[in-house]
């Protein structure tokens, strides 16, 4: 009997030892994973602190400000349409404003200011030619990063501006957009880092008092420094119409702007025009199905203009009808999704469909400019 009890005690001791070893192993593995994550945070912070010190300096009014280069095309974003006849406005509908009123609004909303810094673009481009601009949020001065443009929306998720593999990745444009920021709507993505870096503090702009204090951000580029007045901040589904791309400005674009402004969690009366240039700053949230977005319109007297040699890896489609959007993968910690874009390059156009310029809608279809809108 004594031998049996002794044997049970030994067996229990072995099991307890095994459990202890497994627990220690799990703890060590978890600690290592945390070390890798937070080590990546620190590495990214150190790298971006270094780039800001090396390639930027305090703004000097005596230093020449970038101006559109010689290869920039004429800004021909004004589209001649007859919205009043094709799409009569309902009573009290803002969309009933005529083109002249829209142009007056745009002329009124010029809010120039000194840029926050000067960027040494010649040296920065030597580090990585994929860098297209620099984002700076006035109300969150820790949001100050170079913007990259990759061949897809995956690479810069976990690669820095130096193309080094780091979890925090980089701030980057949607690859459907143009490198000159002259598209009607340009989308810029960044991680919502737990330590507040990258776009980690963007969510604080949802506070009305914070917004009222300073509702501006900047996109600095080799061709010009552009200031943006924020007209919408809110949480939105990953496949919402915020991520709609437009091949050119139109009244459909203006309708989109007004729908976006109506969803804003911060109250504002920023006037909108069909000739606006908008930028969406997008980051992930604790809810994997939603994103936090900050949308602003350019209010600098000099606006981004189309460049003949601007980089654009995946232009918005120019078809009258698209079969729908590709599946959007649900990836942990992913802070971006491909912009709504319908047909991709190389896809076959359904028989009988004619090519025409239009706007991409959230459901993947493309509405031709001038087509009547059913409200």
Q: What is the pLDDT of residue 17?
A: 77
SS3 assignment, position 275? coil
Residue 334 reports pLDDT greater than 50: no
154 lies in some domain: yes
245 lies in some domain: yes
Q: CA 118, 119, 123 angle in degrees (round to 5)?
A: 145
Q: What is the pLDDT of residue 6?
A: 59
Residue 340 reports pLDDT greater than 80: no
Average pLDDT, the chain: 73
Mean pLDDT across 264-270: 96
Q: Which residues have CB under 8 Å from 358's CB, separation 6+? A: 247, 318, 319, 320, 366, 367, 368, 369, 371
Residue 148 reports pLDDT greater than 50: yes
Q: What is the pLDDT of residues 63-81, one digit of tens each?
A: 655 554 444 444 444 444 4
145 lies in some domain: yes
**Where is average pLDDT lowest: 9-23, 38-52, 312-326?**
312-326
pTM beyond cutoff 0.75? no
DSSP 61: T
Residue 136 belongs to domain spanning: 49-58+72-313
66 lies in some domain: no
Residue 12 reports pLDDT greater than 70: no
Q: What is the pLDDT of residues 167-209, one digit of tens each?
A: 889 999 999 999 999 999 999 999 998 888 899 999 999 999 9
Q: Predicted confidence band at 226 (pLDDT cuts at 50, 70, 90)?
A: very high
Residue 321 reports pLDDT greater than 90: no
Mean pLDDT across 157-166: 91
Single out the residue of 133, 69, 293 nearest to residue 199, CA to CA: 293
102 lies in some domain: yes
CATH number at residue 88: 2.40.260.10
Q: What is the pLDDT of residue 66?
A: 56
**Range picked from 16-25, 252-261, 333-342 for highest mean pLDDT:** 252-261
| CB contact at 8 A, 292 and 203 | yes
- Percent of the chain past pLDDT 90, that is, above it, reads 45
211 lies in some domain: yes
Number of separate domains in the chain? 1
Mean pLDDT across 332-345: 37
Q: What is the enclosing helix (H) or strand (E) of 216?
A: strand 216-221
43 lies in some domain: no
306 lies in some domain: yes
Q: What is the pLDDT of residues 30-39, one digit of tens each?
A: 665 555 555 5
């Amino acid at each position: 009997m004594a031998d049996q009890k002794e044997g049970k005690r030994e067996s229990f001791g072995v099991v307890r030892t095994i459990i202890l070893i497994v627990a220690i192993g799990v703890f060590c593995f978890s600690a290592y994973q945390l070390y890798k994550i937070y080590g990546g945070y620190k590495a990214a912070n150190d790298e971006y602190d270094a780039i800001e010190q090396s390639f930027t300096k305090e703004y000097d009014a005596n230093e020449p400000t970038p101006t559109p280069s010689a290869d920039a095309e004429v800004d021909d974003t004004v589209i001649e349409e007859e919205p009043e006849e094709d799409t009569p406005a309902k009573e009290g509908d803002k969309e009933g404003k005529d083109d002249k009123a829209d142009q007056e609004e745009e002329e009124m909303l010029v809010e120039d200011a000194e840029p926050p810094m000067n960027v040494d673009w010649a040296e920065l481009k030597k580090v990585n030619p994929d860098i297209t601009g620099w984002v700076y949020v006035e109300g969150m001065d820790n949001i100050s990063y170079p913007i990259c443009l990759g061949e897809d929306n995956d690479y810069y998720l976990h690669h820095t501006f130096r193309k080094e593999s780091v979890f925090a990745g980089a701030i980057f444009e949607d690859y459907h957009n143009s490198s000159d920021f002259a598209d009607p709507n340009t989308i810029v993505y960044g991680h919502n880092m737990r330590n507040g870096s990258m776009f980690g503090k963007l969510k604080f702009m949802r506070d009305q008092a914070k917004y009222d204090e300073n509702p501006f951000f900047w996109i600095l580029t080799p061709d010009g420094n552009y200031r943006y007045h924020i007209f919408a901040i809110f949480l939105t589904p990953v496949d919402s119409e915020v991520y709609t791309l437009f091949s050119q400005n139109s009244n459909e674009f203006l309708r989109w702007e007004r729908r976006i402004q109506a969803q804003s969690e911060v109250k504002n009366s920023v006037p909108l025009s069909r000739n606006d240039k908008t930028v969406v700053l997008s980051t992930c949230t604790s809810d994997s199905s939603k994103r936090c977005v900050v949308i602003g319109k350019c209010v600098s007297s000099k606006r981004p203009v189309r460049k003949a040699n601007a980089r654009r890896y995946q232009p918005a489609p120019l078809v009258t009808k698209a079969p729908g959007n590709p599946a959007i993968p649900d990836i942990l910690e992913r802070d971006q999704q491909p912009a709504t874009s319908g047909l991709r390059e190389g896809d076959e156009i359904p028989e009988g469909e004619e090519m025409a310029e239009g706007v991409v809608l959230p459901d993947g279809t493309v509405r031709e400019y001038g087509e009547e809108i059913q409200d």
